[in-house]
Amino acid sequence: MKTNYLLMALALAATLGLSVPAQAAEAKKSTSDAASSADNTKQNRQHAQELTADQQAETPADRKITQQIRQAIVKDKSLSQYAHNVKIITRAGAVTLKGPVRSEKEKQAVEKAAVEVAGKENVKNELTIAHKKEKKSEKKSDKVDKQLEK
């Protein structure tokens, strides 16, 4: 009887002893993976020469151009919040549009608003199309639907 308890205790200790280092190694690996994926230093260096919003010129003419474009974009209620919040950077009359929008149609609408104010030759469109994220409630309902189909 004592032998059985002793063998069970040894087996349990061996199991715990082997699983703890494996779990620790896995946790360390996932932490280092997350840290390396969060490090965007390389991307920042690649984009160092690009215009950013803080490089907006402060001349009255450039501010007026930016203001008129922003007003035209915000006035269009068919555009998403993404489109309403794009970055508009104006320097010496040259306008750069940056940021995500929801569709190609929105991308064109924002560019059109800028072109109407600054002229086609003065607008650089660097807008990107962001894909809609599924809501958690939609994901759950999809799972329920799939289970019901089975």
Q: Is the pTM of this model over 0.75?
A: no
In a domain? residue 135: no
In a domain? residue 148: no
In a domain? residue 142: no
In a domain? residue 124: yes
CATH of the domain at 82: 3.30.1340
Instruction: Give the separation between CA 37 and CA 25, rounded to whole angstroms.
Output: 18
CA dihedral (100, 131, 135, 36) positive or negative = negative
In a domain? residue 93: yes
Q: How many CB atoms lie within 10 A of CB 10?
A: 10
Tell me how many domains the chain contains. 1
Q: What is the pLDDT of residue 143?
A: 59
Nearest to 66 by CA among 46, 86, 36: 86
In a domain? residue 22: no
Q: What is the pLDDT of residue 65?
A: 96
In a domain? residue 96: yes
- Cβ atoms of residues 51 and 96 within 8 Å: yes
Instruction: Give the separation between CA 119 and CA 56, rounded to whole angstroms.
Output: 18
- Structural domain range at position 107: 53-129
* Tens of each residue's pLDDT in the chain, 150 residues: 666 666 676 666 666 665 555 555 555 555 555 444 555 555 555 555 566 766 676 899 999 999 999 999 999 999 999 999 999 999 999 999 999 999 999 999 999 999 999 999 999 999 999 876 655 555 555 555 555 555
DSSP state of 130: P
Instruction: Give the separation between CA 83 and CA 97, rounded to whole angstroms.
Output: 10
